[in-house]
Amino acid sequence: MSFADLGLSDELLKTVTDAGYTEPTPIQASAIPSVLMMRDIIGIAQTGTGKTAAFVLPMIDILAHGRSRARMPRSLILEPTRELAAQVAENFEKYGAGQKLSMALLIGGVSMGDQIKALEKGVDVLIATPGRLMDLFQRGNILLTGCSMLVIDEADRMLDMGFIPDIEEICTKLPKQRQTLLFSATMPPPIKKLADKFLENPKTIEVARPASTNINITQFVVPVAPQSFEKRKRLRQLLGQEEVRTAIIFCNRKTTVRELNKSLKQHGFRSGEIHGDMEQPQRLAELELFKRGDINILVASDVAARGLDIKGVSHVFNFDAPWHPDDYVHRIGRTGRGGATGTAYTFVAPDDAENLENIEKLTGQKIDRLELPAPAEEERPARRTRRDRAPRPVEVDVEATPAAEAVEDAPRARPARSRREEPRREQVQREQPRREDPREARNDDRRRDRRRPHQDETPDDGSWNGPIPDFLKVSFGI
């Protein structure tokens, strides 16, 4: 199957060839002709399978006809995060280069005034995060009645972030006569319900088993001691012996992201960080450094990195085993993209046994254990006493106090622990998940404040069936 068989315009075919794509990915091959025939689509495919071009390409051809009207976008693409929205916009710029399509990006962290100005003129494509869109809608700055095409991208991620009620509301503001495309890596029941309600006679395209991992990714579990400094030592050992061209290192907490990045830099690695506490321009700047190769290691939290399209990542490290098995699939999906091969290492401390079990249950495969020799003694900063250490941020050989670490993006379910581990759970309960950055909460999550986290509404998301721990039932008032 070649791109030329899909019914795209010659102009677009040329752009695609220029982009270096030789053949469509399976989801593109199945989706593009149907989108061009104006069918509603449910596209289920794991991350890295090329879902973006599966809707961007046919949309460009469809939107080439017709003109935009003031304040009335002709099409709307919903993305769960600012970074993903920005990425889709980049794709439109890349593929739509030869066409006169106008586009607006509606995301938190960017001046509202500029966005409103862009909308005033009228746009062909509006790319938005649900929170910001609802804001503008309520201010009367936007009309969705001229929007005949809707894309709900990364629907499972939207669910995780509690955006489903917003999306439902947005759907009702669009004309009934429209084309709707929904893309997701997995199809948990609430997403199925959403699709049943808002899509008409959709064609379902599924190119991989939900939650399956990519065969191009070699995966290892690395047993580690629980202490951070031991884990960091192991990490440096692996970074030293592997041919790591580019790596993303995932941590469960923002504090760990910051600490680890600092430590890596002190050890001479070219690393950067990306997490939810950073302002949007800062995040994009860091991402740009990584994309340009100025840094080759990016330490990241799940929320900040999920779904990011960063090409050619050779390695993914899970510095912390993810609490939620779905995150494992998403994290390691950063490598092995577009047919390339990649390697994923997951650090597993004794306490993570249950998390690992859940990952293996979800992916349906046992991950090979990598037994490493004890790391060689490295030259490292001399150990200091607590007092010496205070003013200078050097490598700290003690665990960061859990109380100081907030769980990022609180509504995400941290699997409950079994009864016999009750004391630990008590301890976890004291780590009050809180919004660390009120500005971040204000933007995309405003609407969520007034709603219950999705876990309350959807006890079974198909991946974790345990009870919801009390500490997750928080409100997001700011």
Which residues contact Mg ion by CB under 5 A?
Answer: 51
Query: At a CB cut-off of 8 Å and minimum separation 6, what does 415 contact?
Result: 323, 324, 354, 355, 358, 464, 466
Tracing tokens 């046994």 back to the chain, one arrives at: 353
Residues facing residue 348 across a β-bridge = 223
Residue 47 as a binder of ligand ADP (CB under 6 A): the answer is yes
Closest to 157 measured CA to CA, from 300, 405, 331, 31: 331
From residue 275 to residue 304, the character string flagging contacts with ligand ADP as x (rule: CB under 6 A) and all else as - is: ------------------------------
Please state, in angstroms and rounded to a whole number, the distance separating the CA atoms of residues 20 and 74: 29
Q: Which residue of 15, 30, 34, 52 would you call a contact of ligand ADP, by CB under 6 A?
A: 52
Residue 48 partner contact from ligand ADP, Mg ion, none using kind-dependent CB cut-offs of 5 to 8 Å: ligand ADP
**Which residues 6+ apart lie within 8 Å of 114 measured at CB?**
none
Q: CB of 255: closest distance to ligand ADP in angstroms? A: 28
174 closest CA partner among 201, 152, 191: 152
CB of 52 to Mg ion, least distance (A): 5
Of the candidates 130, 440, 476, 82, the residue with the CA atom closest to the CA atom of residue 254: 440
**Minimum CB separation from ligand ADP for residue 340, in Å?**
9
Choose one: 47-55, 134-142, 343-351, 361-369; the region binding ligand ADP (CB under 6 A): 47-55
Interface pattern 306-335 for ligand ADP (x via CB under 6 A): ---x-x------------------------
Q: Output the smallest distance, CB 157 to Mg ion, in A.
A: 9
In angstroms, the Cα distances linking 454 to 188, 282, 372, 446, 449 are 12, 29, 41, 15, 12
Question: Of residues 9, 11, 13, 21, which one binds ligand ADP by CB under 6 A?
Answer: 21
**Does residue 103 contact residue 124 with C-beta atoms inside 8 Å?**
yes
Per CB under 6 A, 30 contacts ligand ADP? no
Quote the tokens at residue 269: 């690695």
Residues 354, 417 contacting (CB under 8 angstroms): yes
Residue pair 81/129 in contact by the 8 Å Cβ criterion: yes
Q: Is 202 in the site for ligand ADP (CB under 6 A)?
A: no
Selected binder of ligand ADP within 338, 394, 397, 428 (CB under 6 A): 338
The interface with ligand ADP within residues 171-200 (CB under 6 A) comprises none
Name the one range near ligand ADP by CB under 6 A: 41-49, 108-116, 432-440, 459-467. 41-49
Binding flag, residue 156, ligand ADP (CB under 6 A): no
Out of 15, 30, 34, 49, point to the residue binding ligand ADP (CB under 6 A). 49
Interface with ligand ADP includes 24 (CB under 6 A)? Answer: yes
Question: Which parts of 122-253 fold into alpha helices (H)?
Answer: 130-138, 155-160, 164-173, 189-198, 228-241
Which among Mg ion, ligand ADP, none contacts residue 236 (Cβ within 5 to 8 A by kind)? none
Min. distance of Cβ 435 from ligand ADP in angstroms?
Answer: 27
| Interface positions with ligand ADP (CB under 6 A) | 21, 24-25, 28, 45, 47-53, 309, 311, 337-338
